[in-house]
Amino acid sequence: MPIRLLSSEVSSQIAAGEVVERPASVVKELTENALDAGAKNISISIVDAGRTLIEIADDGHGIPSDELELAAARHATSKLTQSEDLFHITTLGFRGEALASIGSVSRMSITSRVASAKEGARLKVDGGVSGKVERVGAPVGTVLRVENLFYNVPARLKFLKADVTERRAIDSLITRYALAYPNVRFKVTDGKQSTLQTSGDGDRRSILAALYGVDVAKQMLEVMAQEDGISLTGFISPTSLTRSNRKEITFFVNGRWVQEFSLTTALLQAYHTLLMVGRYPLTTLFLEIAPEDVDVNVHPTKAEVRFKSQDKVFSFVQRSARKALMAYTPVASVSPQMWGSRSGSTERREVGIDWSIGHSSDQLTVDGGQFSNAEETVNGQRSTINPSFLPVPLLRLIGQIGSTYIVAEGPDGLYLVDQHAAHERVLFEKLMAQHDKKNIPSQSLLAPEIVTLPPQSAKMLVSQLPFLNHFGFEVEEFGSNTFQVRAMPVLFAGGDPSFALRALVEDFEEDEAPLQTEIEAKLAARVCKRLAVKGGQTLTSEEQRQLLNDLEACNSPRTCPHGRPTMIHLSVDTLERQFGRKGAR
């Protein structure tokens, strides 16, 4: 084929591929435009997860009617005139591409009016083809309506995920912008009912509640730090509040949501040794820095930025987060080496004593002496076994320490049992056993409990309701984002129903296909974790003994359902060596 210049329609569709990947990207661009226009009120309607309609109305300064056509053209912006401007950008937009891109892959209309005009004007763009500007009555501000997104790019449509997933991406985006701009009132509807509304009164914590629910919002720690013209504000979770992935780590730089690896790394360093392996904090942090010290023009959707002094920003974020954590968090009580290392031999080097710890996920090399009572281990020879399936011997209760660990004696030495992890394991195996028999006894609550969840979680939960009934929970929808719990499994009698519901939705990965058996087990494990006794809870001797008995009856007594150890064991042999009764002499 000969070389040809592409038609403007084709080239804008290609450009659109970069900017408009999914409905949430449209919402992002339009919200940013409204914010750049100085809007104080932003109303967003989303129908069918944005496939049918995305409409964003703002009360910003509007677009003059004679500039409407330009606004929809490529490389047309009011935010930048010369290339030097790129190095002190104070607006969210500057590339002049969003409206052109969106217009090329949807049926778009822009209705706008500036304060000095008597009436407004409207321009329709259909698959990149602009109509004529018409005069219409309109309030000051702009309404951007995007219908039938990707109707002319079927390939894009195929890449969209399920509506719940796309909708969740939109909700989580808007809630984060609402958090970043607490003085702007955001209102979101799905065409029928309101799904989010913020007051615009500047109070971030109440928006945090909309994002994570009241329980979580209450626990979040506030960060407020300033140094050398850089400031960091926002919220980070205490070490007790974590997720299994990094998706809840949010950073804004100068009001712009970025996915910046170096910032995330700095944050995780602040938590270093305070979190268990594979757990991540929840954060929404806002970094403000002089515009000339950050390059925002390094990524098509502006999701990444470069700092002039990367090291300075890194260390500032790391220290500020660490300081906030230290101010609130009691001294870490876990020995990180013990939790973190994955093999028996490194354990020994770091800890210095022969504590053996049961991990499930890895094969652990154990020498015969340590688990001498276990038949699997053999004749004093080293062998490789999966220790989580090792039974525990009959244990004699000695007592509880720190209201967190149970100390017990077995024929082969001393056992320290983590009461929370152990209880998780016990609940989990009981629940799964009942589930296998298709008989989970359930018990009605005296007073049904009403639980309100943030919109994304509520949607998630609705899709889990059949699962819940399966597991002996009687839960029904009870208004917008609200549920009524009428019964719980007998096994969890006395547990907090709202904990159970939240556990089901909080760690749920995007795009996880719901409800195959292994996912049921995973969800069950989450509920058990939430409802198990906690560390720091004093147990009666009877309760301690019961827990040990129940644990002895488990199939995998040495780890919790998430794979962490329930116990550590100090063998008689080790004791003797440590006290110099054996070997040394």
Q: By the criterion CB under 6 A, which residues form the site for ligand ADP?
A: 29, 33-34, 37, 58, 60-63, 71, 76-79, 93-100, 142
DSSP state letters, 306-318: EETTHHHHHHHHH
Window 17-56: contact mask with Mg ion (x via CB under 5 A): ----------------x-----------------------
Residue 34 touches which of ligand ADP, Mg ion, none (CB < 5 to 8 A by kind)? ligand ADP
Q: Minimum distance from CB of 312 to ligand ADP (Å)?
A: 29
Q: Work out what residue 153 binds among Mg ion, ligand ADP, none; the CB cut-off runs from 5 to 8 Å by kind.
A: none
| DSSP E strand boundaries for 218-337 | 221-227, 230-236, 249-253, 256-258, 283-288, 294-295, 306-307
Side-chain half-sphere CA neighbours of 560 within 13 A? 23
Tell me: does residue 98 bind Mg ion (CB under 5 A): yes
Query: In this structure, how many other beta carbons lie within 10 angstroms of the beta carbon of residue 222?
Result: 14
Q: Per rule CB under 5 A, is residue 93 in the interface with Mg ion?
A: yes
Q: How far is the CB of 36 from Mg ion (least distance, A)?
A: 7
Beta strands 567-571 and 413-418 are antiparallel
CB 13 to ligand ADP: min, Å: 15
The site partner of 58 among Mg ion, ligand ADP, none (C-beta below 5 to 8 Å per kind) is ligand ADP
Question: Out of Mg ion, ligand ADP, none, which partner does residue 94 contact, by CB within 5 to 8 A per kind?
Answer: ligand ADP
Q: Which does 78 bind (CB under 5 to 8 A by kind): ligand ADP, Mg ion, none?
A: ligand ADP
- CA atoms of 565 and 531, how far apart (whole Å): 18
The partner residues of 307 in beta bridges, in order of sequence, read 294
Please answer whether residues 409 and 415 qualify as being in contact, where contact means their C-beta atoms are separated by less than 8 angstroms.
yes
> Could you tell me the smallest distance in angstroms from the CB atom of residue 289 to ligand ADP?
21
Q: Report, in Å, the least distance between residue 28 CB and Mg ion.
A: 9
With CB cut-offs between 5 and 8 Å by kind, which of Mg ion, ligand ADP, none does residue 325 bind? none
In the complex with ligand ADP, the residue whose CB is nearer, 142 or 284, is 142
60 binds Mg ion (CB under 5 A): no
Q: Which does residue 96 touch among ligand ADP, Mg ion, none (CB within 5 to 8 A, set by kind)?
A: ligand ADP
Sheet with 474-477, side-by-side order of all strands: 442-452, 482-489, 474-477
DSSP letter, residue 533? P
Query: Which lies closer to ligand ADP via its Cβ, residue 58 or residue 424?
Result: 58
Looking at the Cβ atoms of 62 and 281, the one nearer to ligand ADP is 62
Minimum distance of ligand ADP from residue 78's CB (angstroms): 3
Q: What's the longest Cα–Cα distance across the chain?
A: 100
User: In terms of Cα–Cα distance, which of 419, 432, 434, 411 is closest to 543?
Assistant: 419
Q: Are 440 and 529 in contact (CB under 8 A)?
A: no
Distances (CA, A) of 231 to 81, 234, 290: 29, 10, 10
Contact partner, 60, from ligand ADP, Mg ion, none, Cβ < 5-8 Å per class: ligand ADP
Minimum distance, C-beta of residue 568 to ligand ADP, in the bound complex (Å):
58
To the nearest whole angstrom, how small is the minimum distance from the Cβ of residue 150 to ligand ADP? 18
Q: Please report how the helices 310-328 and 261-270 are oriented relative to each other, as an axis angle in degrees rounded to 10.
A: 30
Q: Closest residue to Mg ion, Cβ-based? A: 93
What residue type is 38 in one-letter code? G
Structure tokens at 32: 């940013």
Nearer to Mg ion, 28 or 420 (CB): 28
Structure tokens at 371: 């688990």
Q: Please, what sign has the CA dihedral across residues 227, 231, 235, 237?
A: negative
Q: Quick count: other Cβ atoms within 10 Å of Cβ 277? A: 11
* Shortest distance (Å) from residue 95 CB to Mg ion: 7
- Interacting residues with Mg ion (CB under 5 A): 33, 93, 98
